[in-house]
Structure 1
Amino acid sequence: MVSRQLLVCFRGASRTRVSIASTLRMFSSTRSSLLAAPADPPFQVTLDWVPIKSDLLPNAGRPPTAVLTSLRSFPSLEPVSFTHYPSDLFFRRIRSDILWRAVVYENDALRKRIGVFVRNRAEMGFSKKKMAPQKGRGKARMGKAGSPIFHNGGKPFGPRHPDSSTQILRRLYNIALRTAFSYAYQRGTIYVIDGAINLPVSHARASSFVFGELGLLGKKVYCITAEPREEISESLRAANSRSKVVLAKDIDVRMILQANYIIIEKEALDFIAEKTLGKEYLNPERKVSQIRRKSQRVRLHARRLTK
């Protein structure tokens, strides 16, 4: 260590043009001061994290498990009450990679099979009877008429309609669906309706007037319902509007991302939450009862093993 310090001192002396004698005097003074220093430091630094406990805010360090959502009336969209939904449905971190995988999966499922289709020997429709006896003719063996050796036979390994569909885990797709709803919730473009989304008449002017008063005319608005609503569907179809009515079971990630605004019934939102999260998220008592039943089964199995 001393030789390394000397080397550093001599290098510094060569750069700054300091004499060797002054460098040695500086090193000796530094060494004497280091020897005279106390062995233990005057203070100690602890890096242990001590959580702050407060009786006023006992859940201060915990992330929120639910978010508040205002329930509105249709067609005025005026708030009437509040409800809460799991933060995993409306307050997820936006993962663009998961959304991209879900959109690719949906686009591949909609893509048509385009290509040449050639029948093989089993699809020619000929009889499976052998064309000629195996022996006695003095010629080559012959099979059924659909064999590829014949002129009108099938083609082996011919081109087929390519299947462009891809696969995705159901759990990952449910996460993408919840992420899309979180994106719409954080933008403030989703309205939860306490009741049914419908109109009294199916005339084109009815939907045009309602959406015009709300400032949604000419925008892409998806009305997600739990059951078919004929009046508003026919009205939007007659008005040739960009908006349309979609059932909750037919919703996908692309629709949520492409929509300018989403108007969804509370019953439909509960159905989507139950489908993607499970019933225990909407009813915590159900989860507790499941845990109790499982613990009872475990105890009963342990008793049987001990007997």
Structure 2
Amino acid sequence: MNQRLTLPTAALLTLPPVLWAGNAVVGRLVAPLVPPITLNFLRWALAFVFLLPFAWRLLRGDSPIWARWRRYAVLGLLGVGCYNALQYMAVKTSTPINVTLVASSMPVFMLALGAGFFGQRITRRQVAGALLSIAGVLVVLSQGELRHLAEVRFVPGDVYMLVATAFWALYSWLLTQPKDPPEVRSDWAGFLMAQLVPGVVWSGLFAATETALGTQAIVWGPALFAALLYVAIGPALVAYRCWGLGVQRVGPNIAGFFSNLTPLFAAMFSAAFLGEAPRAFHALAFLLIVGGIVVSSRR
């Protein structure tokens, strides 16, 4: 952990924001087809099936994960059971760009949790990088005109996403704690499976509660099946693998800045699939956010 940021590691940490931006847009597109918490459960249940051929040995009775079940229950609750359920709830009342913008408060949560609970020292470069990244977020939020900031109105979905972001920051810090058996930590599929087992249980319980409340019926069809394949493989398996590796290499403080790329990719995808065209201020925001990453990661 805490190695120098290299180009391969930067690419590794850039792919998850691309996939997560697509996840927000897809969540918005299928919102009329499936309840948000049920969507989260179906996503992870399908991801579990895809991961099973690579990590089935970890489910045996003598597996080392059972001795640390409390740790994986917490990781599964935060990263699998809560984060995306809250995001899918958020896009019911908010837009993908707004949701990903709220999630761009990630560096602030990363730095605060690291300093408050994990004994990390906050450097001036990290503070400067956080300010640059937040400035980029504000540029998008204000559409390039600061007077628009006074007109911004947050909806319940934005609040859901703020809570989700705090959960994700805590999840990322817990990933860095050396409490995993070597055979689990060295095996990406096994490490994810250790979180998926309790995570699917958590998300299943939440989905059952949602179904019992009868808020919305599922509309099965090709569109929903295609969406489930994407969110189960891309934002789930691939993104979690890349994010976990990146956090282990450079630490949560630096990795957190890469999450600020998500709203920019969300703006691009929204233009392609939701008819919301990117504008010049998105380019300025991109430069500010990338500048924050570069400043915060330099030694």
Whichever of the two has the greater Rg, that structure is 1
Q: Structure 1 length normalisation: TM-score? A: 0.19
Q: Indicate the structure with greater strand content.
A: 1
Q: Indicate the structure with greater helix content.
A: 2
Q: Structure 2 length normalisation: TM-score? A: 0.19
Task: Compare relative contact order (CA 8 Å, sep 6+) and give the higher one, 1 or 2.
Answer: 2
